[in-house]
Amino acid sequence: AGTQQARAGARTSLHVPYGDGDREKLDIYFPRDPSGTFPVLVYIHGGYWQCLSKDESGFAAPPLVSQGVAVVAVGYDTAPKGHMDAMVLQVRRSLAFLVERYSGIRGVYLCGHSAGAHLAAMVLSTDWTEYGVVPDIKGRAVLVSGVYDLEPILHTYVNDALNMSQEVARRNSPMLCITAAAPVAAACEVLVAVAQHDSPEFRRQSQEYGQALRAAGWSVSLLDLAGVDHFDIIEKLSEESYVLTQVGEELPSCL
Catalytic residue from among 53, 55, 219, 230: 230
Residue 240 has pLDDT above 60, yes or no: no
Amino acid of residue 179: T
Catalytic residue among 27, 45, 113, 114: 114
Asked if 12 and 56 count as a contact pair (C-beta separation under 8 A), the reply is no
SS3 (DSSP) at 233:
helix
Q: Which domain holds residue 194?
A: 1-238
Task: Evaluate whether residue 148 is within a structural domain.
Answer: yes
Query: pLDDT-derived band of residue 248, with 50, 70 and 90 as boundaries?
Result: low
Task: Report phi then psi at 201, rounded to 5.
Answer: -70, -45
Ramachandran bin of 114, using left for φ above 0, alpha for ψ from -120 to 50, beta for the remaining angles: left
pLDDT value for 32: 77
CATH code of residue 190: 3.40.50.1820
Q: Is residue 248 part of a domain?
A: no
Please report which confidence band the pLDDT of residue 255 belongs to, taking 50, 70 and 90 as the band edges.
very low
Is residue 191, in this structure, part of any structural domain at all?
yes
Whose CA is closest to 72, among 50, 47, 94, 100?
94
Asked if residue 250 belongs to a domain, the reply is: no
For residue 224, indicate whether it is catalytic: no
On the question of a cis peptide bond just before residue 80, with omega within 30 degrees of 0, the verdict is yes
The answer to the question of residue 251 being in a domain is no
Q: Is residue 224 part of a domain?
A: yes
Helix (H) / strand (E) element for 12: namely strand 11-17
114 as an active site residue: the answer is yes
Q: Domain total for the chain? A: 1
**What would the DSSP string read from start to end of 132-184?**
T----EEEEEEEES-----GGGTTSTHHHHH---HHHHHHT-GGG---PPPHH
Determine which one of 57, 198, 206, 238 is catalytic. 198
**pLDDT (tens digit per residue) in 112-129:** 999 999 999 999 999 888
How distant is the alpha carbon of residue 165 from its chain centre?
Answer: 24
Is 147 inside any structural domain? Answer: yes
Domain membership of residue 108 (yes or no) is yes
The pLDDT of residue 49 = 98
Most confident range, picked from 34-38, 166-170, 251-255: 166-170
Cα→Cα distances 130→24, 62, 74, 75, 152, Å = 19, 34, 20, 21, 30
Q: pLDDT at position 33, please?
A: 73
